[in-house]
Structure 1
């Protein structure tokens, strides 16, 4: 059984059809910010992307060169693998209906190549509600497939709550966890990390980043409980938080020196192929981190780069907002101005 409240389940379809701008919009930060003046002499660049799935795609996406260049300039890219990577789905009916996710290893490899993501600079989280959509066998297949592709993973319970990753001279800790699950608790236990208590996470790293699968779907503003968890993580030493699960872009917040991106939307469509346009807005969260002595591991600046996934027959086209045609661009810019101060 899943762990969603009934009110959440009942609101899923209405909010999918019309993503909500309701909720508390106070206290958030702009899409871009500078935390260090003057800037450090040397930095490393992290880029966080949203959920990746083949649900809305039968073939690899087309990607604007601007987005490729942006991702290619990052020292490390972190995203969420929303669909099990399997040869064939075991939950056949659910997969056809879109309630159960699945994508092939070939699709993932071709999609990464299409958007210019080098596998050796990519980390994917498996801590999400869909991790067991194709059962335990599908979960094991996913872990094996990502290993074959040379992609590092986070969010596996067996690996502990934090995975250390070397990014240039920095030791960065990535802690992925999910608050939601689509299957029984005993299936997730021992496989997928659901630990959100940073007090028990290891110290001694230059920067600790949380990658949570949290909040409610198709709502642009995070719930009070989500913001409270962000404050708790910041108070426990987490310097950077990049969230998933909402499937729409959500605002930024600065909590002391901690920067929070509550929701990055989808990087590749994970809901249904025919999705309303607000759910097609995604974001690439780019963070420059100081490597200078004295400020090592401190976030120097950040910026969210929004883009739109346009439907193009059996796949999607990833286009920056500046590259959109006038009509859709006006709607997207209006929605972004309602979310970001």
Structure 2
């Protein structure tokens, strides 16, 4: 009898173990840009030193709540002279601020990646490597591409591969031996097969595509998304339009698949509506017995606040919904922030199974803490009230 009970218990334990689920949360954000006013804002006094940390301080814990955070770096780190549009080169300390904000890696293939030609491309790669921020999409040479294409991130028992491609480089020729991943389906197909051979749990493809300032995907985006799905890619993250476009989580032949056509401007000086905001996209992956699926996804609206203080334009990326009634934001800016929230929700109403991150009333007051800085999981669904 005891032996039978022991065997039944052993079977139950083994069965539970066999069905054990592992999860990992990812967060993606839109374009990290570096216009002239952003560079001027980051300058410390009259020196040639720069500090961007304050730009991201209000979103730092939201980003850190995910296990892996990825951003699109749409500037070069080519050194001085620092300049914004049309040939971007931002100070190296932008990388420090991105890491401070909780960003774990960047994708680089976009239309501005060769703004400063060969020297700028190579220096950008070198600075990211020196500062320990993983990268993909742009490479110094074929050997560098082998090392960083795909970009592999391992965390919490997951092995994830990231691939990154752009529609072009603003007509600037990529100089030998540099390589920029362009949207070429034959190349992408080979890269996907190469990533599969590396025994990864999931392949995420980041695409720099679409038409600028259009809030709906164009036919080419839709065609490429469908083609990537046919190759087994279940997560596609888009950038370039500088505005939000819908996110869709749908069932396909390989289970649930997600495409985010555009996540907008994470930080920039583009102020015309609705270019002044973006969204964080949280994705939860679940692995059971080696099978990985997209468990759920949600988005959080963000907005770039640019107050003028002491004749200097400042930049803060704000969690939009938590600051929409905050007196710290100037009245005229609050009005625009609320307009942006309405505009963004009008775009995202076309989402499929990707709701806005919903905040609920906290159960207890947290004395001595500013609620806007509390670290929570993106899936805990908590609402912060009484912001100072």
Place the TM-score, normalised by the shorter chain, in its bin. 0.7 to 0.9
1:276 — aligned with what? Answer: 272
Unaligned runs of 5+ in 2: 1-19, 43-51, 326-333, 350-388
Aligned pair in 2 of structure 1 residues 189, 221: CA closer, same or farther (>3 Å)?
A: farther
Question: What secondary structure, in the 3-state scheme, does the structure 2 residue paired with 1:221 have?
Answer: coil
Q: Which residue of 1 aligns with 2:305?
A: 310
Across the aligned residues of Structure 1 and Structure 2, the Cα RMSD in angstroms comes to 2.3
Q: Does 1:125 align with 2:116?
A: no
Note closer, same or farther for the CA distance 1:245–1:75 as it changes in structure 2 (3 Å cut).
same
* CA displacement, residues 202-249 of structure 1 (integer Å, 9 cap, x when unaligned): 213211100111111111111011111011101111110111111111
| Counterpart for residue 355 of structure 2 | none
**Aligned ranges 1:192-341 → 2 under 5 Å:** 192-197=180-185, 198-200=188-190, 201=192, 202=194, 203=196, 204-255=199-250, 256=252, 257-269=256-268, 273=269, 275-293=271-289, 295=291, 297-313=292-308, 314-322=313-321, 323-325=323-325, 327-341=335-349
Match of 1:109 in 2: 96
Residue pair 2:23, 2:287 contacting (<8 A) in 1 also: yes
Q: In structure 2, the residue corresponding to 1:243 is in which secondary structure? A: strand
Residue-by-residue CA offset, 1:243-299 (whole Å, 9 max, x unaligned): 111111111123422101111112221xxx36214101111111110132253x211
Q: What residue number does 1:141 align with?
A: 123
Match of 1:51 in 2: 31
Deviation at 1:51?
Answer: 1.3
**Unmatched runs of 5 consecutive residues or more in structure 1:** 1-39
Q: Which residue is equivalent to 2:175?
A: 187
Deviation at 1:188, TM superposition (A): 7.9
Instruction: Give the TM-score of the pair, scaled to structure 2.
Output: 0.69
Higher relative contact order (CA 8 A, sep 6+): 1
Residue of 130, 155, 174 corresponding to 2:137: 155
Residue number among 53, 64, 76 corresponding to 1:72 in the alignment: 64
Q: Looking at CA atoms only, which structure, 1 or 2, has the larger radius of gyration?
A: 2
Distance of 2:152 and 2:231 partners within structure 1? 17
Aligned residues: 288
